[in-house]
Structure 1
Amino acid sequence: MAEKSRILFHLDMNSFFASVEQAYNPELKGKPVAVAGNPKERKGIIITCSYEARAYGVYTTMPVWEAKRKCPSLLLIQPTFERYRIASQAMFAILREYTNLVEPVSIDEGYVDVSDIVTGSDAVTLAETIQKRILRELDLPCSIGIAPNKFLAKMASRMKKPMGITILRRRDVPHVLWPLEVGEMHGVGDKTAEKLKEAGILKIRDLAKMTENQAIETLGKHGEKLWKRAHGMDARPVDPDSVFERKSVGNSMTLSYDETSKKELMKHIEKLSKKVASRLKEKGYVGYTVHVQIRYYDWQNRSKSRSFKEPIYRLEDIERYAKKLFSELWNGEPVRLVGVTVQQLKEPGEITEQLTFDSYQQVAKEEPVRALIQDLQKKFGETSIRKGVRLSKNEGSTSSFSKDFLNDHKRKED
Structure 2
Amino acid sequence: MEHPTSGRIILHVDMNSFYASVEMAYDPSLKGKPLAIAGNVEERKGIIVTCSYEARAKGVKTTMPLWQAKKLCPELIVKKPNFERYRKASRAMFDLLRDYTELVEPVSIDEGYIDLTHYQGIKSLEIAKVIQERLLDELLLPCSIGVAPNKFLAKMASNMKKPLGITVLRKRELSEKLWPLPVHDMHGVGDKTAEKLKTIGVNTIYDLAHGDRAQLKQLLGVNGERLKQRANGVDNRVVNPDSIYDFKSIGHSTTLAKNTTNEAELTEILRKLAHSVAVRMKRKDVLATKIFITIKYANLQSITRSKKLENSIGDVDDIFSVAKQLFFTHWNEDPVRLLGITGQDLVEKDDAMKQLDLFTFEKDAKEEPILSVIEKINQKYGNQFIRRGVKGKKEEDFSSGTSFNKDFLLE
When residues 186 and 287 of structure 1 are mapped into structure 2, their CA distance, relative to the original with a 3 A threshold, is: farther
Contact 1:11 1:142 in 2 (8 A): yes
How far apart in 2 are the matches of 1:69 and 1:303? Answer: 40
Aligned residue in 2 for 1:376: none
When residues 291 and 9 of structure 1 are mapped into structure 2, their CA distance, relative to the original with a 3 A threshold, is: closer
How far apart in 2 are the matches of 1:133 and 1:391? Answer: 24
When residues 294 and 158 of structure 1 are mapped into structure 2, their CA distance, relative to the original with a 3 A threshold, is: closer
Which residue of 2, 5, 17 maps to 1:3?
Answer: 5
**1:154 offset after TM fit, Å?**
0.2
Aligned residue in 2 for 1:344: 344
Relative to the length of structure 1, the TM-score reads 0.65
Contact 2:144 2:164 in 1 (8 A): yes
**1:152 offset after TM fit, Å?**
0.3
CA offsets per residue over residues 255-282 of structure 1, 9 Å max, x none?
A: xxxxxxxxxxxxxxxxxxxx9799xxxx
SS at match of 1:131: helix
Aligned residue in 2 for 1:27: 29
* AA at the equivalent of 1:223: G
Runs (5+) with no aligned partner, structure 2: 250-288, 293-303, 332-340, 347-392
Aligned residue in 2 for 1:253: none
How far apart in 2 are the matches of 1:19 and 1:210? Answer: 40
Greater helix proportion = 1
| Aligned-pair Cα RMSD in Å | 3.7
Aligned residue in 1 for 2:317: 304
Q: Does 1:317 align with 2:327?
A: yes
**1:208 offset after TM fit, Å?**
1.2
**1:180 offset after TM fit, Å?**
0.7
SS at match of 2:32: coil
Contact 1:12 1:108 in 2 (8 A): yes
Aligned residue in 2 for 1:386: none
Contact 1:290 1:342 in 2 (8 A): no
* Aligned residue runs from structure 1 range 9-88, under 5 A: 9-40=11-42, 44-88=46-90
CA offsets per residue over residues 223-260 of structure 1, 9 Å max, x none?
A: 01100011011000001001113468xxxxxxxxxxxx
* Aligned residue runs from structure 1 range 2-401, under 5 A: 3-40=5-42, 44-119=46-121, 122-246=123-247, 303-304=316-317, 316-317=326-327, 343-345=343-345, 391-398=395-402, 400=403
**1:320 offset after TM fit, Å?**
8.0
Identity %: 52
Relative to the length of structure 2, the TM-score reads 0.65
**1:156 offset after TM fit, Å?**
0.3
When residues 292 and 54 of structure 1 are mapped into structure 2, their CA distance, relative to the original with a 3 A threshold, is: closer
SS at match of 2:123: helix
How far apart in 2 are the matches of 1:292 and 1:103? Answer: 22
SS at match of 1:233: coil
Contact 1:34 1:74 in 2 (8 A): yes
* AA at the equivalent of 1:344: Q
When residues 247 and 22 of structure 1 are mapped into structure 2, their CA distance, relative to the original with a 3 A threshold, is: farther
How far apart in 1 are the matches of 2:160 and 2:345? Answer: 36
| Range 58-67 or range 89-98, more displaced | 58-67
Aligned residue in 2 for 1:282: none
How far apart in 2 are the matches of 1:186 and 1:217? Answer: 21
* AA at the equivalent of 1:34: A
How far apart in 1 are the matches of 2:76 and 2:345? Answer: 42
For these two proteins, the number of residue pairs brought into alignment is: 300
SS at match of 1:31: coil
Contact 2:102 2:241 in 1 (8 A): yes
How far apart in 2 are the matches of 1:277 and 1:235? Answer: 30
SS at match of 1:48: strand
How far apart in 1 are the matches of 2:86 and 2:99? Answer: 20
**1:394 offset after TM fit, Å?**
3.0
When residues 304 and 31 of structure 1 are mapped into structure 2, their CA distance, relative to the original with a 3 A threshold, is: same
**1:304 offset after TM fit, Å?**
2.5
**1:287 offset after TM fit, Å?**
7.2
Contact 1:10 1:110 in 2 (8 A): yes
Aligned residue in 2 for 1:259: none
* AA at the equivalent of 2:317: K
SS at match of 1:11: strand
How far apart in 2 are the matches of 1:99 and 1:291? Answer: 32
**1:57 offset after TM fit, Å?**
1.1
CA offsets per residue over residues 12-33 of structure 1, 9 Å max, x none?
A: 0000000000010000001000
| Range 107-116 or range 195-204, more displaced | 195-204
Contact 1:153 1:168 in 2 (8 A): yes
SS at match of 1:403: coil
Contact 2:41 2:80 in 1 (8 A): no
How far apart in 1 are the matches of 2:201 and 2:399? Answer: 45
**1:111 offset after TM fit, Å?**
0.1
* AA at the equivalent of 2:76: L
Contact 2:41 2:79 in 1 (8 A): no
